[in-house]
Copies of this chain bind each other. A is one copy, B any other.
Amino acid sequence: MSAQAAVGVDLGGTNLKVALVDGKGKILGQRTLAVEASGGPRRAVADACDAIDRLLAEQSLTCGDLVGVGIGAPGPISYREARIIHAANLPGWQDVDLCTPVSKRLGTQVAFDNDGNAAAYGEYWAGAGRGTDGMVMLTLGTGVGAGVILDGQILHGHFDNAGELGHMIVVPDGLPCACGQAGCLEQYASASAVARRVIAAVEAGEACVLSTQVGGRSAVDARRVAEAARGGDALCLRIWDEACLYLAVACINIQHAYNPECIVVGGGMSEAGAFLIDRVLEHSRRHRWCLHDDFPSVKLASLGYHAGVVGAAGLAWTRFGEAK
């Protein structure tokens, strides 16, 4: 009998998502679990496998119906050795092999990649990038995650860490980044950065319709900044527009680096839809070169928060699907 589903696992700093996904990228069932970082990888693997068992039972399937499991994990990872090198948001998780224990417990093959690549693969395989020969994904969330697909393959590079485009320097000697660099894209264009910059400006005395909300910091987020910018607030508009400008610079640099067919933009910032994309395209046009008509299309992601699990499952379908 042919395989019915693949499992996608998306490991984050606080949540672990597990989904059963069919060969066309449709989610048949899913669970979101809290990650108990202190329980270590062993606990996370056990919890994930228990959840997979329940998802299979709900669909009247068994492990024998699985084409395989795909895991997306926070980097840096070693792709070649299929291990997490160290997960910044999971204290104590160093040099972790998740694949072997999952494979033993479920009796399936396991594909492994980092979370940014898994999300990009999701959009390529079953989302906004479907049908292209290559695409770059930018996920504008807490940071800026990214993944690069060229000719249908995820780009890993010599050190397994290609496509870390959130740390592209767009402002030499610009805002400091926790990574050690200065002026990284994610200091200007992540959802967190946009909120953080508005808060800092208000605290420095600038007028803003969100100023009364700055006391309780969590109340200011990228969604509210976008709303206030749309409503004409000068400070929010300036910071939103700067994010769009630096995203345009990033898109132009991506154009020249990879010449991809399209760039897919996801994450919290992308909830603003056309208010994000149209402004990015406007800045791109103003700065764009005239030597060749090779600017990629820039699209909103279509899988939302499911890109990671769908992409992880897609890795399993692509790698193991033909073997069954």
Inter-chain CA distance A158–B162, complex, in Å, is 18
Q: Which residues of B contact A245 (CB under 8 A)?
A: 172
**Shortest Cβ distance from residue A264 to the other chain B in the assembled complex, whole angstroms:** 14
Which among B158, B249, B257 is the interface contact of A261 at CB below 8 angstroms?
B158
Q: Which residues of B contact A167 (CB under 8 A)?
A: 252, 256, 289, 291
The answer to whether A119 has its CB under 8 Å from any CB of chain B is no
Using A157-B134, A260-B158, A291-B76 as known contacts, say yes or no to A246 and B172 having CB atoms under 8 A apart: yes
Contact: A156 with B85, CB < 8 Å? no
Question: Which residue on B lies nearest to A88, using beta carbons?
Answer: B291
Tell me the residues in window 234-289 of chain A with beta carbons closer than 8 Å to chain B beta carbons: 245-246, 249, 252-253, 256-261, 287-289
The answer to whether A155 has its CB under 8 Å from any CB of chain B is yes
Contact: A256 with B165, CB < 8 Å? yes
Tell me the residues in window 152-166 of chain A with beta carbons closer than 8 Å to chain B beta carbons: 155-165
Q: Mark the stretch among A46-54, A177-185, A215-223 that contacts chain B.
A: A177-185
Contact: A252 with B181, CB < 8 Å? yes
Q: Which residues of B contact A290 (CB under 8 A)?
A: 179-180
**Shortest Cβ distance from residue A149 to the other chain B in the assembled complex, whole angstroms:** 11
Q: Which residues of B contact A291 (CB under 8 A)?
A: 76, 88, 167, 179-180
The answer to whether A133 has its CB under 8 Å from any CB of chain B is yes
Contact: A162 with B292, CB < 8 Å? no
Q: Main SS of the interface on chain A? A: loop
**Shortest Cβ distance from residue A182 to the other chain B in the assembled complex, whole angstroms:** 6
Contact: B159 with A259, CB < 8 Å? yes
Contact: B258 with A181, CB < 8 Å? no
**Shortest Cβ distance from residue A25 to the other chain B in the assembled complex, whole angstroms:** 22
Contact: A161 with B289, CB < 8 Å? no
Q: Which residues of B contact A259 (CB under 8 A)?
A: 156-164
The answer to whether A28 has its CB under 8 Å from any CB of chain B is no
Q: Which residues of B contact A171 (CB under 8 A)?
A: 172
Q: A137-154 vs B: 1/0 string, CB under 8 Å? A: 000000000001010000
9 contacts between A and B (CB under 8 A): A85-B292, A133-B158, A160-B294, A162-B258, A167-B291, A169-B252, A172-B287, A180-B290, A182-B287
Closest 3 CB pairs of A and B: A157-B259, A159-B294, A162-B259
